[in-house]
Chains A and B, each alone.
Chain A
């Protein structure tokens, strides 16, 4: 299964996932995943699956908090076309 990595952020009420080729957004993670799938659609055949890995950009957290936990959020989502 192909794997694609994204950097995840949250700004002004929406999640954003960025990879080399595009950025997807969504007010909820459900909408975000749907947008990612729509953006990837053209590169995959029906029935194919892709593993989407998202790592949250922890640099967007206030510096004073980062000493308490080393990272925020990692997501792994399997999308089927």
Chain B
């Protein structure tokens, strides 16, 4: 065990590998844009279909046929994630087997959920030659989640544990979010003012949320539920900041016994699933529909874990755009509502290192004093979510190349649309399947979790969601996605 350097974990942790893999694809897209060589058109793209043969194809159909694209995509995605798995010293054989099952299940969910009778809106039916449809935009996400949940809760334990060796929703979503950064860059080239407003509003909302959520959550834990400090502080962070990540960082800051963040993390993951399934449908069917960007941002403030937040943002984006199209014929540009959800979450994630440092300092100096203990400032960097670097790199690289006149929008879209579109969507589906696989409702039955679960539910319903909605509205009201 050597000196803990700033490079610690650079090739051994999922966070860094999300950055490396995401950046690999982003740079591939930029290289394609710059050279005109189709380096990304092989990426498998799934489309709405009535004829099965049209359900998937290469992103650039001229490059190769659908079966070739499916094979090449599987090979490339398996290869890059396996490099990460080997570097992180996972059991490669187990990973490859479980990954392949997750991949196949995700493909199946994507194809079935994309059937035109399921996802098409009333205004699109003529395009597919059908006279009825369920108008369930994003159904493939829910289907992937349900498939994962069935296995994660009903399969034999040995199989559930086996599948967890490749069910890494946080890893998959972070790769997808790095790709999403280029989407915001491309959107920013067409609506720079809107993109900037979204960026700044997200930052402001996050600061307000941090200052309000944590003190209220902690006070309720201590005064109402009489939780001991280590449980109260860890739960308060988990529910008011960034979920499991914050629970672990806070547990470490206050030197809690490991069982504290581990048990609380189990509760967080289950509740994040409930929020992901319920909140988008609540938002789209209430007056929140008239504030789509604020609704998206509210998810970033209220849904914990990056995976669940991005997943709920993706569902909301689909639902709101479909409803806007059906009710008023307006075509909102895809991805803005999702970006609002992701942007606020990213700002929250970025500050966790600072929060962990401040909490560690206060705890060690004033609350649980231990003579001689030092708090390391490097915790701020070690806790900083590295995938965020990739997100902003993608966004800024595209905007610099575009606004700088180095590459045209058409060239950038040629190289990057398969990355920010097809690849990002598929990694989202992988995330949904994986969230289902790791969410075990039995966690809530564990001994001692009753009071914690009730505390979590109460704080979520009376503090986090109402205040999150208010703060999101304050900083984002009036913002509507460009058409």
Contacts and interface: CB of A to CB of B under 8 A. Distances in A.
A70 B9 contact: yes
A38 B172 CA distance: 47
A67 B13 CA distance: 8
Nearest to B255: A29
Interface residues of A, number: 30
Given A29-B255, A55-B1, A70 B13 contact: yes
Contacts of B1: 5, 7, 55
B373 A75 contact: yes
A74 interface: yes
A79 B251 CA distance: 24
Interface string A50-63: 00010110001111
Interface stretch (B141-149, B242-250, B294-302): B242-250
Contacts of A66: 13-14
A56 B248 CA distance: 12
A74 B255 contact: no
B114 interface: no
Interface residues of B, number: 42
B383 A69 contact: yes
B351 to A, nearest CB: 15
B27 to A, nearest CB: 23
A67 B12 CA distance: 11
Nearest to B437: A64
A77 B258 contact: no
B13 A74 contact: no
Contact of B374 (A55, A68, A76): A76
A68 B376 contact: no
Contacts of A7: 1
A62 B165 contact: no
A41 interface: no
A80 B255 contact: no
Contacts of B244: 65, 68-69
B14 A67 contact: yes
Interface string B149-169: 000000000000000110111
A77 B374 contact: yes
Residue in A53, A70, A73, A80 with the greatest tally of chain B CB atoms within 10 Å: A70
Contacts of A5: 1-2
A70 B243 contact: no
Interface of B: 1-2, 4, 8-9, 12-16, 164-165, 167-171, 243-245, 248-249, 251-252, 255, 257-259, 261-262, 265, 305, 370-374, 376, 379, 382-383, 438
Given A76-B374, A78-B374, 16 more contacts: A5-B1, A7-B1, A60-B258, A61-B258, A61-B262, A64-B164, A64-B438, A65-B248, A66-B14, A67-B171, A68-B244, A69-B244, A72-B252, A73-B252, A74-B379, A77-B370
26 contacts: A5-B2, A10-B257, A29-B370, A33-B373, A55-B4, A60-B258, A63-B165, A65-B248, A66-B13, A67-B168, A68-B170, A68-B243, A68-B244, A68-B245, A68-B265, A69-B383, A70-B12, A70-B16, A70-B382, A71-B252, A72-B251, A72-B252, A74-B252, A77-B370, A77-B374, A78-B372
The 6 closest A-B pairs by CB, nearest first: A70-B13, A68-B244, A69-B248, A67-B170, A73-B252, A78-B372
